[in-house]
Structures are given as structure tokens and as C-alpha cells.
Amino acid sequence: MDKREATKRIQQLTELINEHNHRYYIESKPVISDYEFDMLMEELIRLEKEFPEFADPNSPTKRVGGDITKEFRQVQHRYPMLSLSNTYSEQELTDFDTRVRKAIGDNFTYVCELKYDGVSISLHYLNGRLERAVTRGDGTQGDDVTTNIKTIRTIPLKLKGNYPDDFEIRGEIFMPKEGFARFNQERIENGEEPFANPRNAASGSIKMQHSAEVARRPLDCYLYFVLGDNLPFGNHYDNLQKARDWGFNVPRYIAKCNNLDEVFEFIKSWEKERTQLPFEIDGVVIKVNDYSQQEELDTTAKSPRWAIAYKFKAERVATKLNAISFQVGRTGAITPVANLEPVRLAGTTVKRASLHNADIIATLDVRIGDTVFVEKGGEIIPKIVAVDFTKRSENAPEFQFISNCPECGTELVRREGEALHYCPNEDGCPPQIKGRIQHFISRNAMDIDSLGEGKVEMLYDNGLINNAADLYYLTYDDLLGLEKTIDATEDKKEKKLSFKEKTVNNILNGIEQSKRQPFDKVLYALGIRYAGQTVAKKLAIHYRNIDHLKKVTYEELILVDEIGERIAQSVVDYFNDPRHVKMIERLREKGVQMELTDAFEILSDKLAEKTIVASGKLEHFSREGIKTVIQQHGGRPSSSVSKITDYLLAGENTGPNKLARAKELNIPIITEEEFLKMIE
């Protein structure tokens, strides 16, 4: 490569990597695999080495990654959060071992761990209490996400045992596979875009503004690194094991290895077993155990020389695309699904893969009969990543997206700016009708668990229900003896399912119980497009009852915090439809909650993002009570005055130290009356 070509390629790679970095870190929507990304990075590193005169001081190879997001307070890391150098090759791992031996001799131990695929977090503990949780950010400073992190149940807020006074512990926040599948399914049902993989779901979750929503996300955290001046042991392994006694979730997938052969054994066994784990991993991390040896080996600007990550390649196979079928969701959204020649991939047999929408089909240029490459990286649902054009038959016609609904025949529509096609036949398209009722009864909505998919189908097929309100008009006689023939696929015999007295009573009871569900759940259950649980709660708090909400205009709605144009339009459209208004009236007639009652746990967001220290004796609140009230209004109660405190709520006999500290830091000191006014 000559100089001219090199500058051009360096520039091209820089732009590409910056773009992918942004998609990955900021938008949480990567479009290439980790492997492809790392290959680009490797090429750039190589070229910059070869042509140092063209290396840009702002090159993506110089930073650890991640722009700084504005919403959260920026916090400087006490110890920089370095990254690990990565490799996909056994040879490079052997080279790493050689370098280590050259520097510290042969008398050392490795520790092998899994490389958890999530987002890293640094937790600071002071006197046994979680003081602060900070994301990696750019490696020197990150976002203070303490409030969100506190919702993760496996992260201790108070430690046990004999812990150091002041230390940091680092780990990975992740969403386990099962929770991810459930959570994504809910998003699809709500008409929201699903996350591409558990890692994006985890990083999206901890960056959310509302901790109540974070608390609903099935997040977990594994700790893998302890830092501090007064740690009990002089090595990584023992401190990590000890941290378990302090209450930390320290993974047991860890091994001490005496040589490279043992390291390879660990890698090989997890490369095979990884599919059995309940969470995603993308490789293995190898660390030199002893701290003094780590010090000897030292770090580069970006990563320690005493550790390396061996990454697994995303498994990819080729198979034939037999057909593309289409599913109709409850919102009428049409999802294309690839039907594949069954093939083994990462421990399971893959028959289907998601194709998302018409644009993706067009971009990939997939055609029926093509040989396609299917990959399962971080994702649970495999995806088609490319077509093997060399195997395409000459006369394979371009794939035409359907123009009519596969279920009811209605002509499909595609609104401007939207990726999906929709079937507009809301009232006559069976999967839409059944889907809406299924959503209505689901756990996070009306929670009628005595009904399930099969029973809803039976009721619909027998002409007993056509919308959610019909459920509340069902009678004992309607249900008793209701029959359905089901295909028993195993023995090929048909089976008859018939409702007996007990089932009928169960169903009716469940429906009756659901009348106690609070208004925000009812609002969510209605299935207004783009109104997921958070939006429903927001609307319920703001408007308090359905009559207010029915009358609200688009202009008013977009002024509500977090209600964007798309949601506002959807809410207005929903209530402008007389069919919806009629259904709501029928639900109200039967006693379904159409207003917020006082027992509701979240009262407002008037203290959103405000950290408040309450001290001394208060007239209206107990010590615990005031904390709850602060939280109910979206604030963060805290017990010590620091730079991050927004107000000191000073009651009778407030400690002089707290008052002095607040004055020193210029933090407003408020009275109980002033506080009450704030949340009025």
C-alpha cells in the first residue's frame, strides 16, 4: 500500500469506526457484528502503526469508546476504567503468554473468567454502603447512574462481614437470556421496537431516566474486579472470592490456571458450553493473578498488559431459504419471517430467522431458494447476515413484499417514515382482534391469568368475544361446556377440550378480580399504540382519569414530559375513534377502574433527578416516611450531604455538620413547609 492509498483507507476506517461506535454506544443499535467491528479496528491499528505520520490524535483507536451523554451527572473515575486487548486467535494468545513470561518469568498463575456480554459498571463503597455507581463513559469519566443501579437486586446497598472502608468493585450489568426474551416479546406486543440483543437491552436500561422503569427490567450484575488501597489479599482471585462474603454476586465460572494448556482447556470447554449458560458471553478473560506481577507488567494507555480477552467468533452457518412467511401482530404490524432448511447452530436447530421488514429484505437482496448465512452472535433469535450470491440460481426472481394481509386479505398500508407494513383492518382481522384481547389480559396489564392464549382463541372462535369489554359480559352459561378440538400432534389423535364448572368459575373469578387493577394498568391494557407501561403510567399520573384523557389535544399532550409527537398523535387518534370510546364505556359500566386512586405508588415527577437529604425531626413525616415521599415524587433520598445533593431538608435539630457542609457547598437548605410546597 502506498502513502496515498494509506491516508485514504485510514480516513475511511476512521469514519466507519466512528459511525459504528456511535450506533453501538449511543444508539445501542449496532448494524455489524463485534467480529466485523474488531476487524476494522485491527486494520486501522495496523495502518496507523505502519504509517504513523497519518495517525490522527483523535483516532478511534486512541479512545476507549463512548461519547458522553448529557442526562446524567459526569463523574471522574478514581482509577481509569481500562479496556482489554482482544484477540480471536490462538496464536495471539500464545504471543501474550510469551510476553508475560519474558517480563515476569515462569512463576505465576493465570485466572480465567468468562467475558460477560453487557455493560461495565464501577461501584464505589464507602464504609460498607454503596456510594456511587458510574458507567465506563470514556474511561476517565462516566455517568452517575446510582439510582438506576440500586434497582438491581443482586447489587448490595449495604455490605456484610469484614470489608475495606473505601474501595471500588467493577463488574458487568447484563440481562439474562430468559428475561430478555420475555422483555422483548412485551415490547413487540406493545408496538415498540425490540432490542437487537441482551447487551443493548442492558445498556439502554441503565441509561434510562426513570429508575422505576429500570426496576422492571430483568437486569443482573456479575462482579469481576476489586480495586482499593486496603484490600485483604495481594491477588485478584482471593479478593474476588472474599468479595462474595461481603454480599457481592461473584460468578463461580472462574479458574486458576498454571499454564497456557490449562487456559486453552478452559476456553475450549466454555466455547462449547456457552449456549447452556442462562446469560450471554462473548469470550474468556485471562488475567495474571498476583498484584505485584500485574504492576510489573504495567498497562498501556488503553489496557493492562497483564490481561487479555479471547473472543469467540459468532457462529455462522449457510442454509437454504425455503420461504418467507408473514405474521400479523395485534397492532396490525406485518413481520416477515424466514423459513429455513433446518440447520444446527450454536447448540440448537434453527428453522426460522427474523427478517424485520421490507427494507432489510431489499438491502440483503434475499430471494426464495437462496443460500443464506445465518448468525447467532449475542442474539437469541438468529439473523440472516448475508446471501451467498455465488449459489443463486440465474432465474431467481427478486422478492416481492406482499401487498395484502395474509390473514384477512385487506390491502396493506405503509405510513411515511415507517419501516413496517400494517393491515388496517383493525376490526375484522382475527390475529389483531385476538392479539389485542391477549394483550389486555396479560400479566402487566389486567393480569387475568385464568385465561390464556388457547382460551381466548376458543372464546373468539365461538363468537363470544370480539373485544376486551366483551369479557366482562360473559356468563356462566356462555362458558359451561364450551368445546374445542385440538390437534394432539404427538399421537395424531384429536382431543376435545371442554370447559367444566371449575374452569368456568375460575375464568369468571379472574375477570372479576381484574376490576381491581389500577387505572394505569387499564390504560396500558387498552393497547394504545406506542403507549407501553411507562407511558401509560405517565399519562395516568398526569390526567388522573379517562375523561380528562379523552378530551386532551395533541398540543397539550406533547407538553407532557417524555410524550413525543408520535405518542401524542397515537393517543389522540385512539380516543377519536368512536369504537374505542364505546368499548371504554362498556368497561366502565362493569366496574373497570377508569381513574387513579390514592393508593397509587408514584405520585408525581416534581422532584425528578433531585437528590435530597432529609435531616432532623420532621413534623409530617417519619425518618423512613420522608424517603418514600421523595421517591414517590421521583426524587432520590440520600443520607449524606455531598456535591451531588440538590437540597438539604432541615427539620428540628438538624446535625450541625450537615448544615455546615451544605453551606460550604452552596446547597439550598429548605424547611418542611418549602418541601411540601414543592410537591404540592
Q: How far is the CB of 146 from ligand IVH (least distance, A)?
A: 18
Stretch of residues binding ligand IVH (CB under 6 A), selected from 76-84, 388-396, 437-445, 654-662: 76-84
115 is catalytic: yes
Q: Are 218 and 183 in contact (CB under 8 A)?
A: yes
Which region among 78-86, 147-155, 392-400, 475-483 touches ligand IVH (by CB under 6 A)? Answer: 78-86
DSSP-assigned letter for residue 299: B
Stretch that binds ligand IVH, among 79-87, 367-375, 589-597, 670-678 (CB under 6 A): 79-87
Residues 537, 217: Cα–Cα separation, whole Å: 16
Judge contact between 89 and 36, C-beta under 8 A: no
Among 72, 96, 195, 225, binds ligand IVH (CB under 6 A): 225
Span interacting with ligand IVH, options 110-118, 335-343, 418-426, 634-642, rule CB under 6 A: 110-118
Taking CB under 6 A as the criterion, the residue among 116, 248, 422, 530 binding ligand IVH is 116
| Gap between the Cα atoms of 599 and 632, Å rounded | 11
Q: How far, in Å, are 210, 412, 467, 567, 569 from residue 528 at the CA level?
A: 21, 20, 14, 9, 11
Q: Quick one: which segment of 14-22, 115-123, 321-329, 623-631 binds ligand IVH (CB under 6 A)?
A: 115-123
Q: Which residue, 111 or 437, is less far from ligand IVH as judged by CB?
A: 111
Sign of CA dihedral 583, 546, 330, 529: positive
In Å, how far are 120, 168, 244, 296 from 225, measured between CA atoms? 11, 8, 12, 18
> Dihedral, CA atoms, 661, 666, 671, 677, nearest 10 degrees?
-140
β-bridge mates for residue 310, sequence order: 87, 284
Which residue, 629, 610, 608, is CA-closest to 672? 629
The one catalytic residue in 3, 29, 62, 115 is 115
CB of 304 to ligand IVH, least distance (A): 5
Q: What is the Cα–Cα distance from 169 to 164, expressed in whole angstroms?
A: 11
DSSP state of 69: P
**CB of residue 306 vs ligand IVH: minimum separation in angstroms?**
9
Binding residue for ligand IVH, selected from 10, 13, 55, 84, defined by CB under 6 A:
84
Q: Which is nearer to ligand IVH, 223 or 448 (CB)?
A: 223
Identified binder of ligand IVH from the candidate list 304, 369, 430, 510, rule CB under 6 A? 304
In the complex, the smallest distance separating the C-beta of residue 114 from ligand IVH, rounded to whole angstroms, is 6
Nearest residue (CB) to ligand IVH, 207 versus 636 = 207
DSSP-assigned beta bridge partners for residue 124: 132, 168
When asked if residue 175 is in the footprint of ligand IVH (CB under 6 A), the reply is no
Among 69, 74, 83, 466, binds ligand IVH (CB under 6 A): 83
Choosing from 285, 465, 650, 667, the residue that interacts with ligand IVH (CB under 6 A) is 285
Query: Of residues 111, 155, 307, 387, which one binds ligand IVH by CB under 6 A?
Result: 307
Among 34, 172, 186, 290, binds ligand IVH (CB under 6 A): 172
For residues 575-594, which are near ligand IVH according to CB under 6 A?
A: none
- Say how far apart CA 612 and CA 343 lie, in whole Å: 57
Label residue 585 left, alpha or beta by phi (over 0 means left) and psi (-120 to 50 means alpha): alpha
State which residue, 48 or 172, has the beta carbon closest to ligand IVH: 172
Nearer to ligand IVH, 167 or 399 (CB): 167
Q: Measured from the CB atom, is 223 or 445 closer to ligand IVH?
A: 223
Shortest gap between Cβ of 268 and ligand IVH (angstroms)?
18
Closer residue to ligand IVH (CB): 83 or 209:
83
Cell of 11: 480516513
Q: Which of 6, 16, 32, 82 is in the footprint of ligand IVH by CB under 6 A?
A: 82
Provide CB contacts within 8 A for 70, sequence distance 6+. none
CB of 130 to ligand IVH, least distance (A): 19
Q: Cβ 115 to ligand IVH, closest distance in Å?
A: 4
Shortest distance, CB of residue 113 to ligand IVH, whole angstroms?
4
| Contact status, residue 516 vs residue 593, Cβ threshold 8 Å | yes
For ligand IVH, the closer of residues 65 and 428 by Cβ is 65
H or E element that contains 675: helix 672-678
Q: Taking the complex as a whole, how short is the minimal distance between the CB of residue 200 and ligand IVH, in angstroms?
A: 14
Shortest distance, CB of residue 101 to ligand IVH, whole angstroms? 20
522-525 contacts, C-beta under 8 A, 24 or more apart? 522/445, 522/446, 522/587, 522/592, 522/593, 522/594, 523/549, 524/444, 524/445, 525/439, 525/440, 525/441, 525/442, 525/445, 525/446, 525/468
In one letter, which amino acid is 586? R
Name which of 77 and 538 has its Cβ closer to ligand IVH: 77
If you compute the radius of gyration of the chain from its CA atoms, what whole number of angstroms results?
Answer: 29
The residue count of the chain comes to: 680
Which residue type is seen at 250?
A: V
Q: Nearer to ligand IVH by C-beta: 306 or 543? A: 306
Q: Binding pattern to ligand IVH, positions 119-148, x when CB under 6 A? A: -x----------------------------
Distance CA 371, CA 318 (A): 6
User: Binder to ligand IVH among 24, 125, 224, 270 (CB under 6 A)?
Assistant: 224
H-state helical runs in 27-105: 34-50, 90-104
Q: How far apart are CA 576 and CA 582, in angstroms?
A: 11
Q: What are the backbone dihedrals phi and psi of residue 123, each rounded to the nearest 5 degrees, phi first?
A: -110, 130
How many chain residues touch ligand IVH (CB under 6 A)? 14
What count of Cα atoms within 13 Å lies in the side-chain half-sphere of residue 60? Answer: 25
Order of strands, sheet of 281-288, starting from the edge strand that comes earlier in the sequence: 86-87, 307-311, 281-288, 110-116, 254-257
- In the complex, what is the shortest distance from the CB of residue 224 to ligand IVH, in angstroms, rounded to a whole number? 4
The residue among 144 and 172 lying less far from ligand IVH, judged by its C-beta, is: 172
Of 25-33, 82-90, 525-533, 599-607, which segment contacts ligand IVH by CB under 6 A? 82-90
* Whole-angstrom distance, CA of residue 375 vs CA of residue 595: 48
- Stretch binding ligand IVH (CB under 6 A), from 113-121, 155-163, 311-319, 545-553: 113-121
Q: What are phi and psi of 138, to 5 degrees?
A: -95, 10
One of 14, 20, 66, 113 touching ligand IVH (CB under 6 A): 113
Taking the least distance from each CB to ligand IVH, the nearer of 304 and 428 is 304
State the nearest-atom distance from the C-beta of 231 to ligand IVH, in Å. 16
CA distance 471 to 511: 7
Q: Which residue is nearest to ligand IVH (CB)?
A: 120
Nearer to ligand IVH, 270 or 543 (CB): 270
The least CB distance from residue 568 to ligand IVH, in Å, is 38
Residues with catalytic function: 115
Residues found near ligand IVH in the complex (CB under 6 A): 82-84, 113, 115-116, 120, 172, 224-225, 285, 304, 307, 309
